[in-house]
Amino acid sequence: MRLQNKRAVVTAAASGMGQAGAEIFAREGAAVVAIDVDGARLRQVVDGIKAAGGKAHAIEIDLLDADNCRQSLEEAVRLLGGLDVLWAHVGMPGLREVENLDVAAYAEAMDLNVRSGLLAAGAAIPHMRAAGGGSIMFTASTAGLVGASVSPVYSAAKFGVVGMAKSLALRCAPDRIRVNAICPGPIDTPMFPKFFDPKASAEAAAKAQAAVLAAIPLGRIGQPQEVANAALWLASDEASFVTGVALPVDGGFTAR
């Protein structure tokens, strides 16, 4: 098993890629703390992991709150008896508009996409240092590698996540803590439709989705498990010489 005896935290673990990550980490031998604001779905995920013979705990909490980010990590470390792996996956599409910017909505997008990961990593680092190393992964996006007209704010946040990963990789290397960013392209989760204009007509929405598909060389959107598999590898000792990377998992979208 690829994460035997590892202690892992996954945020946004009640759905989509985070759920797939919590499940595969547990299947590969890790004890997992799954964190999410959606308590009902989170309990289903954790119960499913336990029913399959895995070890998992749930922490229901809103990661938009800064204190919650720190406290949930400390609680996770207490439950796990230490920490080896953090996948700080939580994020949100945020606002699309730029003209007459809604600064409260802007701050929310930045806080969930960037600050929550920084706070989680900041809480995790001392424990990983004490354990002799670890693996931190942030979820950025292809919008953190190339421009995305759909939301300049989202793109700014995800470029920030990539910068945060690279900078922390440099800072944490002496402690043998690897830090990487995962950059998914369009992935088939409940979040995917939220990237499109809710005010668009059905015809315009279909056209926008077709344009996204047409831009993916592999000709389809990705599945949550395909991103979770990348996270599993980055979390594992198989990626022991990989740090500071922004890894696209995007069907070739950013290869053009």
The position carrying tokens 């693996």 is: 135
For ligand NAD, the binding residue among 63, 80, 118, 165 (CB under 6 A) is 63
The token pair at 45 is 């995920």
- Whether 106 is catalytic is no
Q: Using CA of residue 4, residue 8, residue 12, residue 14, what is the dihedral sign?
A: positive
Which residue in 80, 168, 83, 68 sits closest to 126, CA to CA?
Answer: 83
Question: Shortest approach of ligand NAD to residue 151 CB, angstroms?
Answer: 10
The position carrying tokens 């599409």 is: 93
- How many residues touch ligand NAD (CB under 6 A)? 26
Give the nearer residue to ligand NAD in terms of CB position, either 1 or 218. 218
The residue annotated as part of the active site, out of 25, 87, 138, 154, is 154
Helical H segments across the chain, by residue range: 16-27, 39-51, 66-80, 103-110, 116-131, 152-172, 202-214, 224-235
Question: Shortest approach of ligand NAD to residue 134 CB, angstroms?
Answer: 20
CA Rg value for the chain: 17
Per-residue interface string for the shown chain with ligand NAD, residues 174-193, x marking contact by CB under 6 A: ----------x-xx-xxxx-
Give the nearer residue to ligand NAD in terms of CB position, either 125 or 227. 227
Tell me the C-alpha distance between 47 and 204, whole Å.
40
Per-residue interface string for the shown chain with ligand NAD, residues 19-38, x marking contact by CB under 6 A: -----------------xxx
The token pair at 172 is 């944490």
Residues 108-137 that bind ligand NAD (CB under 6 A): 112
Give the nearer residue to ligand NAD in terms of CB position, either 22 or 172. 22
Tell me the C-alpha distance between 254 and 26, whole Å.
31
Give the 3-state secondary structure of residue 220. Answer: coil
Give the nearer residue to ligand NAD in terms of CB position, either 17 or 128. 17
Position 12 contacts ligand NAD (CB under 6 A) = yes
- As annotated, the active-site residues are 154
Q: Which residues contribute to the site for ligand NAD (CB under 6 A)?
A: 12, 14-18, 36-38, 62-64, 89-92, 112, 139, 141, 184, 186-187, 189-192
